[in-house]
Chains A and B, each alone.
Chain A
Amino acid sequence: MQITLKVWRQSDANSPGDFVSYPVDNVTEDMSFFEVIDMLNDELVLRGEEPIAFDHDCREGICGTCGIFIDGRAHGPLQGVTSCQVHMRSFTDGQEIVVEPWRARAFPVIKDLAVDRTAFDRIMASGGYISVNTGSSVDANATPISKHDADEAFDAAACIGCGACVASCKNASAMLFVGAKVSQYALLPQGQPESKERVLNMVATMDDEGFGSCTNTGACESECPKEISLEHIARMNREFIKASLG
Chain B
Amino acid sequence: MSFQSNIPDGPLKEKWTKHKFDLKLVNPANKRKYNIIVVGTGLAGASAAASFAELGYNVQAFSYHESPRRAHSIAAQGGINAAKNYPNDGDSIYRLFYDTIKGGDYRAREANVYRLAEISNNIIDQCVAQGVPFAREYGGLLDNRSFGGAQVSRTFYARGQTGQQLLLGAYSALIRQMGKGTVQFHPRHEMLDLVLVNGEAKGIITRNLVTGEINRHSANAVVLATGGYGNVFFLSTNAMASNVTAAWRAHRKGAYFANPCFTQIHPTCIPVSSEHQSKLTLMSESLRNDGRVWVPKKKGDNRNPSDIPEEDRDYYLERLYPSFGNLVPRDVASRRAKDMCDKGHGVGNTGLAVYLDFSDAIQRLGRDAVSAKYGNLFDMYQQITGENPYETPMRIYPAVHYTMGGLWVDYNLMSNVPGLFVLGEANFSDHGANRLGASALMQGLADGYFIIPQTIGNYLSEKLNETVSIEDSAFSSAENDVRERAEKLLSVNGSRTVDDIHKELGKILWDNVGMSRESSGLNEAIQKIPALREEFWNNVRVPGNNESFNPELEKAGRVADFLELGETMARDALNREESCGGHFREEHQTEENEARRNDEGYTYVAAWEYQDGAPPNLHKESLNFENVSLTTRSYK
Contacts and interface: CB of A to CB of B under 8 A. Distances in A.
Contacts of A38: 276, 278, 499
A80 interface: yes
Nearest to B127: A140
B384 A132 contact: no
Contact of B274 (A28, A85, A130, A144): A28
Given A62-B74, A85-B384, A158-B161, A147 B137 contact: yes
Interface string B540-557: 010110001101100000
Which of A59, A87, A110 gathers most chain B CB within 10 Å?
A59
Contact of A125 (B158, B168, B178, B241): B178
Nearest to B183: A125
Interface in A131-163: 131-141, 143-147, 150-151, 153-154, 157-158, 160-161
Which of B72, B133, B159, B276 gathers most chain A CB within 10 Å?
B133
B106 interface: no
B126 A137 contact: yes
B510 to A, nearest CB: 19
Contacts of B133: 150-151, 153-154, 157, 184, 188
Contacts of A25: none
A160 B185 CA distance: 20
A34 B239 contact: no
A153 B72 CA distance: 23
The 5 closest A-B pairs by CB, nearest first: A144-B140, A125-B179, A137-B129, A129-B172, A154-B133
Interface residues of B, number: 83
B122 A135 contact: yes
Contacts of B587: none
B141 interface: yes
A87 B384 contact: yes
Interface of B: 47, 50-51, 54, 65-72, 74-75, 84, 86, 122, 124-142, 158-159, 161, 163-165, 168, 171-173, 175-176, 178-179, 185, 187, 210, 239-241, 273-274, 276-279, 281-282, 379-380, 383-384, 386, 449-450, 453, 495, 497, 499-500, 541, 543-544, 548-549, 551-552
A78 B497 CA distance: 32
Nearest to B237: A60
Contacts of A188: 131, 133
Given A124-B175, A129-B172, A64 B140 contact: no
Range of interface residues on chain A? 35 or more
A74 interface: no
A45 B540 CA distance: 11
A154 to B, nearest CB: 4
B66 A118 contact: yes
B543 A62 contact: no
Contacts of A87: 383-384, 386
Given A134-B173, A145-B136, A45 B125 contact: no
A55 interface: yes
Interface stretch (A46-54, A98-106, A238-246): A46-54
B172 A110 contact: no
A140 B67 contact: no
A210 interface: no
A46 B497 contact: yes
Nearest to A205: B179
Given A57-B70, A58-B75, 8 more contacts: A35-B274, A45-B541, A62-B75, A64-B70, A78-B383, A111-B549, A128-B172, A141-B84
Contact of B67 (A32, A51, A118, A153): A118
Given A85-B383, A141-B86, A154-B159, A133 B75 contact: no
Interface of A: 11-12, 28, 30-32, 34-35, 38-39, 41-42, 44-46, 48-51, 53, 55-65, 78, 80-81, 85, 87, 89, 110-111, 114, 116-118, 120-121, 124-126, 128-141, 143-147, 150-151, 153-154, 157-158, 160-161, 184-185, 188, 190-191
B139 A144 contact: yes
Contacts of B68: 121
Nearest to A29: B386
A129 B124 contact: no
Given A118-B67, A121-B178, A141-B86, A62 B161 contact: yes
Which of A30, A60, A64 gathers most chain B CB within 10 Å?
A60
Contact of A31 (B129, B210, B240, B276): B276
A191 B172 CA distance: 12
A12 B383 contact: no
Nearest to B54: A133
Contacts of B129: 130, 132, 136-138, 190
18 contacts: A30-B274, A35-B274, A45-B497, A46-B497, A50-B544, A55-B66, A63-B72, A63-B239, A85-B384, A121-B68, A132-B173, A134-B449, A134-B453, A137-B122, A140-B142, A143-B128, A144-B139, A190-B129
A147 B140 contact: yes
Contact of A39 (B67, B163, B276): B276
Contact of B131 (A65, A118, A141, A190): A190
A41 B278 CA distance: 13
A137 B128 contact: yes
A48 B68 CA distance: 34
B552 A45 contact: yes
Nearest to A42: B497
Contacts of B67: 117-118, 120-121, 161
A138 B140 contact: no
A145 B541 CA distance: 56
